[in-house]
Amino acid sequence: MKTPIWRFLLLAYAVTWCVWFTAEALGVGPDHNEYFAGFGTAGPALAAIFLSRRGQGEIVERLPLRLFSFTVLWLVAWSVYIAHDRLRGIHAPTSVLYYCVAGLLAMIPAWILSGAFTRDSGVRRLLHAYLHPSNWRWQAFAFFFWPVILLVPAAIGRSFHMRLVWPASFGSLRMDAAYGGVAFLSNFLFTAALEEPGWRGFLLPQLQQRFSPLISSVLVWLPWALWHAPLDFHRPFRFTLVNYLLIRVVFLIPITLILTWLYNRSGSNLLAVTIFHASMNTFPFVLPYTPPAFILIILFAIGIVFNDCMWRRLPVPASLDPAESTNLQSNRSAPR
C-alpha cells in the first residue's frame, strides 16, 4: 500500500485511540462525562482533511462563507447534542462544564462540514459532496434503506405472530418521532460526519486506485472494525467475543460492501454514505424489527457484489486530467 494510506491509518488511530484510552482512564462512560470520548470519533475525518490539503486554490472569497456556515452548523450541532442528551435523560443540564465541553465538541462537526467552503482546493474536493450532492435519489436511498429493511419484515412477521424487538417508547408517537429525528441528527453530526470523510472519502478512493471495489471494501473493513476496539472492549457493556464477531465481522462486512457500492454508484457521493451511516446507527434503535430481517442485509450485499461485478477494477474516471490519469494507470499496473 502507498504512503498516504499508511499515514491516514496512523493519524486516524493516533487521534482516536489517544482520546479514547485517556477517556477510559478517567472513567468516562454513559451518564459520566461521555462527551469527552466524543472528541476521539473525529480521528478519521481529521486525518483525511490533513492529508488532503493542497494549499489555497483560485477561489479566495470563501472565508466569509466558511465562517458563516461554521457558525450556523456549530449552533445546530450544539443544540442537537444537548437535546439528544435531554431526551435520553443523560447529563442533567445544570453543569457549566457540560455546556462548555458540549459546545467545544459541536465545533468539530461544524468545522469538518464547513470545510466544503474552505479555500484549500484539496479539502474542497474531499468535502464538496456535502455542498453539491450529485443526485438526491441516492440520499433518499441511503435514508430509507434502513426503515424499509426493518419495517417491511416486521409487518410481515407480526402478521405471522413472530417475535418483534420494540424500542423504548417516550409515551406518544409524537415524542417517539421527535426522538428519532434528534437521534438521527446526532448520529449524523457526531458519528457519521466524523468518520465517513476518512473511511469512504479518503481511504476507499486511495485503495480503489490499485484494487477492485471488493478487495478495497475488505481493506476498509479491517481497520474500520479494529478502530472501534477501545470502545468495544472497554465500554461499560463490553462486547463478548461472540458479540464482537457478530457485529464487527458478520454484520460489518456486508455493511462495508454496501457503503462501497453506494459510494461508487452515487458518483463518490460522500453525503449519501454519511446519511446511510447515520441511519444505520439510528433506526434499529427507534423502529421495531424482527431479528431475521438482518439476513436481508447479507443477501443484499451478496446481490450487489455479483450484479456490479465488484471483483473487477473500476475504470479510470473520465474527469481526471491527463497527469492524474497516467498516475492512476501506473498505480493499477504496479505489481502487488
198-228, pLDDT tens digit by residue? 999 999 999 999 999 999 999 999 999 999 9
Could you give the angle at the alpha carbon of 197 between the alpha carbons of 36 and 206, nearest 5°?
130
Are the C-beta atoms of residues 203 and 4 closer than 8 Å to each other? no
Q: What is the pLDDT of residue 288?
A: 95
- pLDDT, mean over the chain: 88
Q: What is the pLDDT of residue 231?
A: 84
* Count of structural domains, the chain: 1
Residue 265, CB-side half-sphere exposure with 13 Å CA sphere: 20
Q: What is the pLDDT of residue 31?
A: 57
Q: What pLDDT, in 10s, does the model give residues 21-71?
A: 988 888 776 556 677 888 999 999 999 999 999 876 555 556 788 899 999
Tell me what percent of the residues of the chain surpass a pLDDT of 90. 65
Q: What pLDDT, in 10s, does the model give residues 73-111?
A: 999 999 999 999 988 887 655 688 888 989 999 999 999
Q: CA of 268: how far to CAs of 197, 228, 261, 300, in Å?
A: 11, 25, 10, 20
Q: What is the pLDDT of residue 319?
A: 44
What band does 333 get if pLDDT is binned at 50, 70 and 90?
very low
SS3 track for 77-89: HHHHHHHHHHHHC
Q: CA of 106: how far to CAs of 54, 95, 211, 267, in Å?
A: 26, 17, 36, 29
Q: What pLDDT, in 10s, does the model give residues 132-177?
A: 777 789 999 999 999 999 999 999 999 998 899 999 888 888 999 9
Residues 35 and 301: their CA atoms lie apart, in Å, by 34
This prediction has a pTM of: 0.91
Q: CA of 180: how far to CAs of 89, 140, 285, 322, in Å?
A: 15, 17, 9, 47
| For residue 6, pLDDT beyond 90 | yes
| For residue 238, pLDDT beyond 90 | no
Q: What is the pLDDT of residue 335?
A: 39
Any residues with CB less than 8 A from the CB of 138 and at least 6 apart, and which?
262, 265, 266, 269, 272
Residues 175 and 28: their CA atoms lie apart, in Å, by 29
Q: What is the pLDDT of residue 24?
A: 83
**What SS3 class is residue 29?**
strand
Residues 42 and 192: their CA atoms lie apart, in Å, by 9
Range of the domain at 92: 3-333
- Hunting for cell 450541532 — which residue is that? 77
Report the pLDDT averaged over residues 268-292. 96
Could you give the angle at the alpha carbon of 229 between the alpha carbons of 227 and 231, nearest 5°?
105
Query: For residue 238, with 0-12 CB atoms within 10 Å meaning exposed, 13-18 middle and 19 or more buried, which class applies?
Result: exposed
C-alpha radius of gyration, the chain, whole number = 20
Measured between alpha carbons, how far apart are the two ends of the chain, in Å? 8
**What SS3 class is residue 230?**
helix
